[in-house]
A and B are shown apart, each in its own frame.
Chain A
Amino acid sequence: MSKSNTILYLDGVSVSFDGFRAINNLSLVLDKGEMRAIIGPNGAGKTTMMDIVTGKTRPDEGEVFFDGQVDLTKHDEAEIAMMGIGRKFQKPTVFESHTIEENLMLALKGPRSIFPALFHRRSAAEARQIDDILGIIRVGDKRDELATNLSHGQKQWLEIGMLLAQDPKLLLVDEPVAGMTDAETEETARLLKDIARDHSVIVVEHDMHFVRELGVKVTCLHEGAVLSEGTLDFVSADERVVEVYLGR
């Protein structure tokens, strides 16, 4: 298949730690503007895959291409982030000792070198962007709150908000609704769907209801390789998936 007009293209990717094969000849393609849900049992290599895409882990073999032509294996986290891949961690990771506003300010797209940062003054445009995002992630009222004082769910959202502030082409979202109430879960689903309108998104999630909410193509990983791919119904009908993951 051709790499062009794919946003993310993994082919025959493998990586192993001390003999343990975390990713085993994984191939996965994401089209521009697509949102994809990835499910799979623990140890399936979901997070490792994200590590590879975001340049945290180098694959032993296989090719990883972004936006059709960029070979991601040649770049490190910062560069990849600059190219427009945003990542949200499984456990919400925000700058606890900063306010929400500052968190977003640090995430805002813009020059990433030291001296601009040193003499940086906030422009009206930036202020506006931040206001928008605050609106989107529904914490506008807490802009001066320390991130550390946010609830778990709010942290999740803040982190997503920081991704948005980066204005990436592709978002990797790792278990966005872990530890959220049903209400929050639905909110998040809506939020992601909003985002998916103008971004490509990969969501890793265990919560089947949530995945159903999203209503997008689903890939099931197992032992570092694609086990099954298709609509949620198709995948959850797949015997092997039931066997290794969903259970009878």
Chain B
Amino acid sequence: MNLFRAIGLTLLVLLATLSSSGASEADLRGIIAKFATAKGFSETGAVVHELAATGDPAVERPLAALADGNLYIRKADSLVFVGKETGDSVELLDPLSGEKSADAAKDDIAKIKVNNTLRRVIRDALGTLTLGAKDPAVRGAAADTMFKTPDAANIEPLDAAIAKETVASVKALLEQARAASVLVSDRPDADKLAAIALIGARGDRDAVSLLTSVEANAPDAVKEAATAAIRNINSTLAFWDAGQNIWYGISLGSVLLLAAIGLAITFGVMGVINMAHGEMVMLGAYTTFVVQQVIRTSFPSLFDWSLVIALPLAFLVAALVGLAIERGVIRFLYGRPLETLLATWGVSLILQQAVRSIFGPTNQEVGNPSWMSGSFNVGQLAITWNRLWILVFALSVFAVLLYVMKRTPWGLQMRAVTANRRMASSMGIRTPWVDALTFALGSGIAGIAGVALSQIDNVSPNLGRGYIIDSFMVVVFGGVGNLWGTLVGAFSLGIVNKFLEPYAGAVLGKIVVLVLIILFIQKRPRGLFALKGRAVEA
């Protein structure tokens, strides 16, 4: 039997009987002092429980600090403090009151080590303590922890909490937590069946996880109920899994779209086989990195805005590089697409090595702003924020691009030049500039794609390499010169890929997709959305 669990049980029973008035401050300090002498994680754990058992809300501060690894012991007098790092010295705060009591050099104090197990213990302990917290969210969180770590002793405090709970959603959580605790208690089977029904209604993985653990050693009646509950939860979950797969496919598709959309301009519209496309994406990512560095050092408050700030810059940087490439290399090669392939390949090598020499070969850290981290649930569908934002972003970029191409005079000129260069120039369109700007646009878009991709992938000199082939596959599959084709191509490839993955595995899935593309090109040598008719045939 796990030591923590043992202590936990006894102490929580204690806690339940204790009136929630809490112990005297002296007692608390006494207990906290024990941290200094505790050897190893398990002893520290014991102290944590003792502290929690007082049921005094005041212990929240030291415990939380401990969990974050901010609880220190001053070597001189082995007093326990909450530490706050300020540069190279540490500000020592009183563990209970939180007032500043002293400063100390790092060497004069020892951090109280924590590990996962200990954090878990603290989380559970805090859970019981924060049942009565003001913030409903906190109460909910507490209920959730208690659901995940059911314990017969939790029933009374939960009953009390449920009684005075006003917020419906939290109340539901509390009841589920109670039900969980009932299941592990020695209550009569009738209660347990009711509890199972309640938990079955919850219907998520945690519920399954809990029920399976109960199922193992329970009287038949309960067992059956549990098995039944598990069965129908799983059946619903299976349905949700399909949805999850589609979502994964869509989100992969959005990444492909982002990666490919710039190429749809440079390659699709201009017919330049732009092997340096991936490097444009990389430049965008590095721009993001630089922006974040500046923000970190100078305006930390703006961090959440870093991506928004990076976007235009990334566009600019990539667009300028693109412009340079077009003016310097590609304009000499119009009408010879396969040679643009070679030249741009060379450019990509140079760009890669340049970035490697400037920023070094290692990955650079690009942080996720708070609004792009974490996930939320739709039913049983876990949707991560960054994926969602990337999807939104990809689609809006696509929309803007479509507008530029179809509705603006520039777009008109662009299409005119690519349709019939001679005619366009004789109509007074300055084709060289249109070419240059078109290429710059494509590169710029690749750049902003880089900003998004920096959120989910490595920011390293090799970033571009990973996407170049996929991008070409998407554009060719969708049909060169057709933005809609790129859109459809990206999403269909994404979804197919994600549906293959669970069965074929990641590698085989990708291979299958590639083979499918090859075969598809046989069937439709001009891709999905190829224009028919004589003018563009063969």
Which residues on A are within 8 Å of B, measured CB to CB? 17-18, 20, 22, 47-48, 51, 57
Contacts and interface: CB of A to CB of B under 8 A. Distances in A.
A134 to B, nearest CB: 31
Contacts of A51: 534
Nearest to B535: A17
A18 B534 contact: no
A47 B537 CA distance: 14
A22 B534 contact: yes
B533 to A, nearest CB: 3
- Chain B CB count within 10 A is highest, among A17, A20, A22, for A17
Interface in B482-538: 531-534
Contacts of A57: 534
A18 B532 CA distance: 6
Contact of B531 (A18, A47, A48): A18
A89 B269 CA distance: 28
| Majority-rule SS of B interface residues | loop
Interface residues of B, number: 4
Contacts of A20: 533
12 contacts: A17-B532, A17-B533, A17-B534, A18-B531, A18-B532, A18-B533, A20-B533, A22-B534, A47-B534, A48-B534, A51-B534, A57-B534
B481 to A, nearest CB: 14
A47 B533 CA distance: 13
A17 B537 CA distance: 11
Interface of B: 531-534
A31 to B, nearest CB: 29
Contacts of B531: 18
B383 to A, nearest CB: 40
Nearest to A47: B534
Contacts of B534: 17, 22, 47-48, 51, 57
Contacts of B533: 17-18, 20
B148 to A, nearest CB: 60
Contacts of B532: 17-18
A47 B532 CA distance: 16
A18 B530 CA distance: 11
A18 B536 CA distance: 12
A47 to B, nearest CB: 8
A239 B531 CA distance: 37
Contacts of A17: 532-534
Given A17-B533, A18-B531, A20-B533, 9 more contacts: A17-B532, A17-B534, A18-B532, A18-B533, A22-B534, A47-B534, A48-B534, A51-B534, A57-B534
A18 B531 CA distance: 8
A18 B533 CA distance: 7
A2 to B, nearest CB: 32
Contacts of A22: 534
A17 to B, nearest CB: 3
A51 B537 CA distance: 12
Contacts of A48: 534
B173 to A, nearest CB: 59
Nearest to B531: A18
A45 to B, nearest CB: 10
A13 to B, nearest CB: 15
A23 to B, nearest CB: 11
B339 to A, nearest CB: 18
A149 to B, nearest CB: 21
Nearest to B538: A56
A87 to B, nearest CB: 15
A51 B534 CA distance: 9
A219 B52 CA distance: 103
A17 B532 CA distance: 6
A57 B532 CA distance: 11
Contacts of A47: 534
B266 to A, nearest CB: 26
A204 to B, nearest CB: 15
A20 B533 CA distance: 9
A17 B536 CA distance: 11
A122 B331 CA distance: 45
B94 to A, nearest CB: 79
